[in-house]
Structure 1
Amino acid sequence: MAEQLIIGRHPVVEALRAGRPLQTIYLQRKAGGELIREILQLARQQQVPVKQVPAEKLQKFSRGHHQGCIAIASAVAYYDLQDVINHIVEAGQTPLLVMALGITDVRNLGAIARSAFCLGAQALILPEKDTAPINELAIKTAAGALHHLMVARVSGWKQAYEVLKLNGIHIVATGVHNGVLPDRIDWNQPIALVLGSEDSGLPKPCMEQADAVVTIPIHPDFDSLNVSVAAGILLYQAAMQRQTFHQ
């Protein structure tokens, strides 16, 4: 299915005013004016990524009169992280959240979402930048799980950590080396599992400010697991401890 485009300044600003979920807004470089200023303000408030691009990039999206502004509608709704936590707690559940940082492969993101939903996580946390888009391919890979998980969009891991810590949610970062074994984590407490990219992992400060670092033991002749596989292993450990599912 093709991405749904919203073309032109007025349609984009009206979508923002209506709170319509947007994946990304593309603005032509040096574009200005009152509507552009409002688009930037609303996008910042709603944490919608904005990319400044040359006119040629916009022409690839649409040959029509785009007025230097095109948005891509999101296939899922995005929520504020605090609202997500409130919803989970009010439902009488113990939060189990999955934060994916630097996951730029659409299929990996979809597979993470699938494991998260199947193994009892309630929500996915994604940063505005350096993240694969939630498009039709991601939804297909997730086998529809992205329609069941709440998805919170944050400006970055620092903002997410601040909200998580204020709500008493234990942050467990993943690392290739020197972390505790998965069965040493108390998965029954409120937890946010933080996953990093396969190439570079998590930023060092991100790991240092976590409450714990977990490492999956693997064969010494190999360096790492696929990130979606690692997510599945760790979330299975959480599900077993929490007795999420019963025969």
Structure 2
Amino acid sequence: MKKENLIFGLHPVLEAVKSKKPIDKLYIQKGMASSKIDAILNDLDQEAVSVNYVPIEKLDRLIRSNHQGIIASISPISFKSLEEVVEERLENKKDPVFIILDQVSDVRNFGAILRTAECTGVDAVIIQKKGGAPVSGDTVKASAGAIFNLAVCKVDHIKDAIFYLQGSGVKTIAATEKTSQTIYDTDLTGPLAIIMGSEGKGVSKSVLSLVDQSASLPVLGEINSLNVSVACGVFLYEMIRQRGL
């Protein structure tokens, strides 16, 4: 995490929150009590910000200066409301497409997915507050700036986003090697959400149990899976092919 993305100290963080700076993550020392901490949490947009209570050693590693027990990571973008984006896109676009990232943690993969999503007309990328790659200057660079042209929605839990999308009439399809059905036998037309999993574990079992369908990519070599950003690109361009775009 680059220091230029960090604000630290009780008063600077409070002022950043009051001025509506796009905060991505907030780190607070465990066991710390302060009226200013209470004021920060009260003013915080907790729907978009991941609040992490951590040991002082974690804060000391992030900042060598006097952090006063609190550090905020500033995002280069403002996050969008999932409900507002989905409602608007369903109303104004025939077949919107959403990408859900289930714990994709490598910033280069995250950025590459954002870049491909922007190139293929994806309407929003949905990420979870905790566990995924940060939205930072490195993300901007890895996405070649594409992140500025995309709606990025942050949610507490991926499962809640899936339930909401399904309730809105959006078909959910997980990309996983744990199925014999390939994307070439899968209908990728209509309102669609594609779920991509983490680099190590793929889409989690609990998420796989919720989605409408699962689809895989044919793998003919000795290695049994593709890089997640590459796999996402294949899914999106097969979606484009099926839609005749």
Distance across 2 between alignment mates of 1:55 and 1:108:
30
Offset at 1:179?
4.3
Task: Give, as a single letter, the amino acid of the residue that structure 1 aligns with 2:17.
Answer: L
Gaps of 5+ in 1: none
Partner residue in 2 for 1:145: 146
Deviation of 1:243 after TM superposition, in Å, equals 2.8
Q: Distance in 2 between matches of 1:198 and 1:179?
A: 20
1:55 and 2:56 matched: yes
Q: Hey, what does 2:83 align to over in structure 1? A: 82
Aligned to 1:236: 237
Give the aligned residue type for 1:78: F
Paired residue secondary structure (1:45):
coil
SS across alignment from 2:239: helix
TM-score, normalised to structure 1, is 0.90
In 1, the alpha carbon distance for the partners of 2:4 and 2:168 equals 36
Q: Is the 1:43–1:49 contact (alpha carbons within 8 Å) kept by the matching residues of 2?
A: no
Deviations 1:69-115 (A, max 9, x none): 11011011111111111232343342201111111111010011111
Q: Where in structure 2 are the equivalents of 1:96-107 lying within 5 Å? A: 96-107=97-108
Q: Does 1:117 align with 2:118?
A: yes
| Percent pairwise identity | 34
Deviation at 1:152, TM superposition (A): 0.3
Shift of 1:37: 2.9
Counterpart of 1:212, as a letter, is: Q
**CA distance in structure 2 between the aligned counterparts of 1:55 and 1:74, rounded to whole angstroms:** 23
Gaps of 5+ in 2: none
TM-score (norm 2): 0.91
Distance (whole Å) between structure 1 residues aligned to residue 35 and residue 88 of structure 2: 36
Does residue 34 of structure 1 match 2:35?
A: yes
Aligned-pair CA distance for 1:161: 1.3
Task: Confirm or deny: 8 A CA contact 2:110 2:133 kept in the other structure.
Answer: yes
Contact 2:3 2:63 in 1 (8 A): no
Partner of 2:164: 163
Deviant stretches of 4+, over 4 Å: 41-44
Letter in 2 for 1:169: V
Deviation at 1:45, TM superposition (A): 2.9
Deviates more, 1:42-51 or 1:92-101: 42-51
Q: How many residues align?
A: 244
**Separation in 1, partners of 2:91, 2:40:** 33
Superposition CA RMSD, Å:
2.0
| Structure 1: distance between partners of 2:179 and 2:55 | 45
The residue type equivalent to 1:218 in the other structure is: V
Matched to 1:124, the amino acid is: V
Measure the CA separation in 2 of the matches of 1:208 and 1:57: 35
